[in-house]
Amino acid sequence: MTDEQTSSHESSILVADDQSDVLKALRLLLRPEGFQIKTASSVSEIIDSVKAHDFDVILMDMNYVRGETSGRQGLDVLSGIRQIDDTLPVVVMTAWSSVELAVEAMRRGARDFVPKPWKNERLLTVLRTQIELGRALRKGKQLEQENVLLKDQSSQSLIAESHAMQPVLEAIARVGPSEANVLITGENGSGKGVVANALHAASGRKNKTMVTVNTASIPETVFESELFGHVAGAFTDAKSNRLGRFKLADEGTLFLDEIASIPARLQSKLLRVLESGEFEPIGSSKTFCVDVRVLSATNADLSTEVATGHFRQDLLYRLNTVEIHVPPLRERKEDIPLLAMHFLSRYVTKYRKSITGFNPTVTELLCSYPWPGNVRELDHTIERAVLMAQDECIRPPELGLTTSENEPRLEDITLEEIERLTIRKAMIRFDGDISKAAVALGLSRGALYRRLEKHQIQ
């Protein structure tokens, strides 16, 4: 096999024929036309070359044994090429007397044929046409995979006006425009993915793809395939080529959520990509090089994971050039009403409900609840309330929150605090109805109003 190195922007072609004079003639024709040329003179050289290199098109003869005219070898090669890369266009060369063979070749996956002896203008036109069609097909398949990844990712807004979130906003403003890898830490549901989206939007890659991978949801058996891709036939269920997440995120951003879940045996391969940008799909000897900014997130203590041997320290160094910690929702209560209204607006539109807001008691309940599931729990709570609401305003029972487990024990609080807690629960129970709450508490309306004002209960 021989090759001629030219500039990287040229179209790459594999020319295969067992006759050296044919290869020489085609080289003389194609080189001045801007093709990067590799040649092969046997079936094994064709297959090995396709496995090891990326081509825009293949131009191949159908016979590789002297005196052989059946073209069976060429047909077998076509099947082998399709198993390796079913998007790679192949143009076959045949004698005029072998038109039937050319038809069979196209049935096996060839895109076009050129008769021998060829006409230069016709050959160049066919090759250029197939190169453009092949590139379009590959781009279409990549976009199809990207759409599968992105279709469930709804637009997310970073809503943060609390004091606790100011360091996060400042970090996004400073680090977002850089190329630095960022590790985002915080409890489950605290909004680490939203911060990742904000970092991507603030970067020079904002017009490129951001691909998200929840590493905890990927079985270890297919983890490597998901990240780096595979070729057809690499394993039992690999019926076609698949682009990995790193390839899909090329020139964009890759967000690895739940990074602590990456299997130990694969951490070295991830480290290699972070250091060099290089990887090989499963079943392929081709080395791909990508330009990807990596954002990662975890709710685990990676320092502890490193100390126990579950996470590589050198990988941690690569991931956390900068670390951003997202505080839990209970530490940013000022944001709760804003987030609640944001989710309300989203779900009112989604479910076509005529809801205008929250009952006054609801806001106090939302702000007093500890939100162990953080922003994600608040999101689900508001969605449930929108679905269950019967009036224009959402009422406390429609939130479905249970607070008894989070309230202090009676023996640990004062009489005044007990009174405040009892009045607040009565107001929630009767949906803010002063008269009903007063009767249940054994108070007059005036006495209840005075206690509401005393305890600052809305």
Domain ranges of the chain: 2-145, 163-327, 329-401, 407-458
Task: Give the closest residue to 53 by CA, choosing from 115, 102, 112, 5.
Answer: 5
CATH top-level class for 329-401? mainly alpha
The CA-based angle 326-331-332, given to 5 degrees, is: 80
CATH number for 163-327: choose from 3.10.20.740, 3.40.50.2300, 3.40.50.300, 2.130.10.30: 3.40.50.300
- Specify whether domain 407-458 bears CATH 1.10.10.60: yes
Omega before residue 219 within 30° of 0, cis: no
Question: Which tokens sit at 433?
Answer: 């109805």
Length of the chain: 458
Question: Which tokens sit at 228?
Answer: 């780096």
Q: Report how far residue 374's alpha carbon sits from residue 189's, in angstroms, rounded to the nearest whole number.
A: 5
Place of tokens 């019926």: 239
Question: Which tokens sit at 77?
Answer: 């090669």
Say what the pLDDT of residue 426 is. Answer: 79
Q: Matching CATH topology for 2-145 and 163-327?
A: yes
Place of tokens 């609801």: 362
Task: Give the closest residue to 361 by CA, choosing from 422, 418, 425.
Answer: 425
Task: Give the closest residue to 302 by CA, choosing from 283, 289, 315.
Answer: 315
Q: Report how far residue 32's alpha carbon sits from residue 458's, in angstroms, rounded to the nearest whole number.
A: 82
Task: Give the closest residue to 247 by CA, choosing from 222, 221, 220, 282.
Answer: 282
Q: Which amino acid is it at 23?
A: L
Question: Which tokens sit at 405?
Answer: 């487990």
SS3 153: coil
Beta strands in 385-446 (DSSP E): 393-394
Q: Which amino acid is it at 74?
A: G
Taking the CA atoms of residue 328, residue 326, residue 338 and residue 205 in that order, the dihedral angle to the nearest 10 degrees is -150
Using DSSP bridges, classify how beta strands 2-4 and 210-214 pair: parallel, antiparallel or unpaired.
unpaired
- pLDDT per residue rounded down to tens, the chain (458 residues): 554 443 334 789 999 998 899 999 999 999 999 899 999 999 889 998 888 888 999 999 888 877 677 778 888 889 888 888 878 899 998 775 567 787 788 888 888 888 888 999 999 999 998 998 888 777 766 665 555 555 444 446 788 889 999 999 999 999 999 999 999 999 989 999 999 999 999 999 998 889 999 888 888 888 888 899 887 777 777 677 788 899 989 999 999 999 998 988 889 999 999 999 999 888 888 888 999 999 999 999 999 999 999 999 999 999 999 999 999 999 999 999 999 999 999 999 989 988 888 887 888 889 888 888 899 999 999 998 999 888 888 988 888 886 554 555 555 567 777 788 788 777 777 767 788 888 888 888 878 888 887 877 76
Q: Report how far residue 52's alpha carbon sits from residue 163's, in angstroms, rounded to the nearest whole number.
A: 55
| Domain topology for 2-145 | Rossmann fold (3.40.50)
Report if pTM > 0.75.
Answer: no
First to last CA, the chain: 83
Say what the pLDDT of residue 96 is. Answer: 58
Task: Give the closest residue to 177 by CA, choosing from 209, 203, 144.
Answer: 203
Per the CB < 8 A criterion, the answer to whether 219 and 264 are in contact is: no
Q: Report how far residue 440's alpha carbon sits from residue 431's, in angstroms, rounded to the nearest whole number.
A: 13
Task: Give the closest residue to 326 by CA, choosing from 202, 197, 185.
Answer: 185
Angle of helix 166-175 relative to helix 192-201, nearest 10 degrees, comes to 40
Per the CB < 8 A criterion, the answer to whether 12 and 35 are in contact is: yes
Determine how many CB atoms are found less than 10 A away from the CB of residue 140.
Answer: 11
Bridge partners for 317 per DSSP:
none
Give the DSSP H/E element, type plus range, for residue 11: strand 11-16
Alpha-helical segments (H) within 56-119: 72-84, 99-107
